[in-house]
């Protein structure tokens, strides 16, 4: 089985609903054996990391600061970059698929990088942009990803 990496992008201050979706997605991803790549901080990044962590999965945080200890406590691997917002391209680059949950302009920049890199982008309670696929619930998201990675 090949290593499947899903880049999860999203806001630092999501609604409770979006936080819960990210957390539940993290748990499901870990159960499937998928590695999560995220920005490694709070909000959606922390929620997905916590879900992965609780199920014993792998989550990589690509951090904006130059301190690998600055990430959330649920990361298996924290990568310090010292790049600030420019690290967004690295978060996207290191996933096979991109999932956007919530988010603002940082998330929008990551969606843009994903489209430049010809990555599939699924949005769940996030931006609705031409070239991305709006998903209505977690079950649908998991099914779409499974079809891609099992192909």
Q: What is the pTM assigned to this prediction?
A: 0.96
Q: Which helix (H) or strand (E) holds 90?
A: helix 88-93
What is the mean pLDDT of each successive set of 10 residues along the chain, which is 151 residues long?
A: 89 95 98 97 98 98 97 98 96 98 94 97 92 96 94 73
Break the chain into its structural domains and give their ranges.
5-149
pLDDT of residue 127: 87
Task: Give the start-end residues of each E strand in the chain.
Answer: 5-10, 35-38, 59-63, 77-80, 97-101, 120-124, 133-134
Return the CATH fold of 5-149: Rossmann fold (3.40.50)
| Residue 142: per-residue pLDDT | 97
């Amino acid at each position: 089985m090949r290593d499947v990496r899903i880049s999860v992008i999203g806001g630092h201050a999501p609604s409770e609903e979006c936080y819960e979706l990210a957390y539940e997605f993290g748990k499901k991803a870990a159960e499937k054996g998928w590695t999560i790549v995220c920005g490694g901080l709070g909000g959606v990044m922390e929620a997905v990391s916590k879900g992965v962590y609780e199920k014993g999965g792998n989550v990589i945080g690509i951090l904006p600061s130059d301190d690998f200890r600055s990430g959330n406590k649920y990361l298996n691997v924290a990568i310090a970059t010292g790049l600030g917002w420019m690290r967004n391209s690295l978060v996207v680059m290191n996933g096979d698929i991109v999932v956007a949950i919530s988010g603002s302009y940082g998330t929008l920049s990551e969606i843009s990088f994903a489209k430049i890199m010809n990555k599939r982008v699924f949005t769940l309670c996030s931006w609705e942009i031409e070239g991305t696929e709006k998903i209505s619930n977690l079950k649908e998201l998991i099914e779409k990803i499974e079809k891609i990675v099992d192909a």
